Amino acid sequence: MRTLYVRIIITTMAIMIASAVIAFAVTNIYYQYYLKPQNDEKITHIANNIVEIYNHNNNQSIDDFLNAMTDLGYKFYLIDQEGTEKTFGDPFSSTAMNERYIEKILDGQVYHGIKNYPWKPFVTGFFDNELVNTIGVPVMVDGERQALFVRPNSSQQFGEMRFFLAVLLILTLLFSFLLVLVSTRYIVNPIKNLTIATKKIAAGNYHLKLKVKRKDEIGRLANDFSKMSRNLEQIEEKRQEFVSSVSHEIQSPLTSIQGFSKLIKEEELSKEERIHYLTIIEKESKRLSLLSKQLLTLSFLDSEKDINEGQKFDVAAQLRETIQTTEWQWREKNISIELDISSVYLKGDPRLLQQVWVNLVSNAIRYTDNNGKITLRTHEKKKEIDVVVEDTGIGITEENIPFLFDRFYKVDKARTRTEDSTGLGLAIVKKIIELHDGTIMVESTLGEGSRFIVTLPREN
């Protein structure tokens, strides 16, 4: 299995080699269609100048003249009427030439071998040292017309440059490969660290600190990964805290039930004492039943993503029904109820939202002293509706407000224990409201009362 490091290296080198091949091919095409005709024209002009210079030096031998011209970086091939051939300068790799072209030169025409040299993919004709890749011009030697073939001596003109370019290309590729090896390791190392960290997280180790100071995409990925690790750690802590809280909430009533059941069974008790103990057992059983019901409700709500198919209903009707349902509670404490509500229709799950209003009103009654007041009001907005449940109860301290909706959180554990509270009611309320795309806020002053504001989207 190839690692990412190997894949990047192979891919990069393949790209470099492919780029070099493509660049060479494109350069060759450019030479064939643009530079080669220009080169043919230039060498033709030089060949004509050489012939013209020779014609102005009639006293000089053609052999001596051409030998002298080879120092300028050219090679020559001379053929007379009898077919005698002479080479001046470095020899040609091939002297094969169609007799028809030689005859045309002897007849006074010019041979454009460079321009008409066959096109070969990936092989530029500029360096092909063949007689057919030359310029042929007629020249008068001792009154006889002969054929003179001319081409640059690439070895003489570009020998050092060709070596220099070859060394430059080899060193460029070599250093490029070495730099690819180093730079790829720089890129891949953080990913390797992320892989190791992922395995640790999969094993349950969330205490990770990735030392990545880069500002690129990998750096941002590492930072996001660290945030994810911290979030998972917090979730794991909350999960353990949740399990501990559930265990505690279940263990406490079970201990009471077991203790009082054993007491009733083993002791000689009066009727009043037996009824008292049985009342406690019944009360603790109800607490267990409530806790079980609320845990099942939370499990159901956690599995729901949103309320896909809602039902249209009147919020004001639900609030009135809630007041009627809890009437015995607020009448027992002589609490006055004030309603400032109007009919507003929402779309959602009326059964779940009814549970929200019952929970909020029940809490308001529980924490409001005798002869207090509870106010329910609605406030319509363009796209939302606010439902406010306000009481004149004991209030909540500012440091407790951020934790009110945490599961099993109790502001006054001693007080809520006697009130059969499980600490799950407000967590259920918040979850139901979020499923309806709403929000809930709390405003409270210790000793003066609390205000719960539920905001829900209106039905258009």
84-104 per-position pLDDT tens digit: 899 998 888 888 888 899 999
Q: How do residues 51-66 score in pLDDT, each as one tens digit?
A: 988 888 766 788 888 8
Question: How much is the pLDDT for 439?
Answer: 92
pTM value is 0.48
- Is the Cβ–Cβ distance between 364 and 454 less than 8 Å? no
**pLDDT at site 455:** 93
Given this model, what pLDDT does residue 391 score? 93
Mean pLDDT of the chain: 81
Confidence of residue 148 (pLDDT cuts 50, 70, 90): very high
Task: Cite the residue boundaries of each domain of the chain with CATH code 3.30.565.10.
Answer: 304-457
**Mean pLDDT of the region 275-293:** 78
pLDDT at 48: 92
CATH architecture, domain 304-457: 2-Layer Sandwich (3.30)
The CATH 3.30.450 domain(s) of the chain lie at: 4-160
Q: Which helix (H) or strand (E) holds 385?
A: strand 384-391
Q: Residue-wise over 40-76: b if at least 16 C-beta within 10 A, else e?
A: beebbebbeebeeebeeeeeeebeebbeebeeeebbb
| Nearest-angstrom CA–CA distance, 147 and 149 | 7
Q: Which residues of 332-359 are buried (b: 16+ CB within 10 A; e: fewer)?
A: eeebebeeebeebebbbbbebbbbbbbb
197 or 63: whose pLDDT is higher? 63
Residue 293: pLDDT over 80: no
Percent of the chain whose pLDDT exceeds 70: 83
Domain spanning 4-160 has what CATH number? 3.30.450
Element (H, E) at 100: helix 99-106
Give 239-273 pLDDT, tens digit per residue: 776 666 667 667 777 887 888 788 787 767 777 87
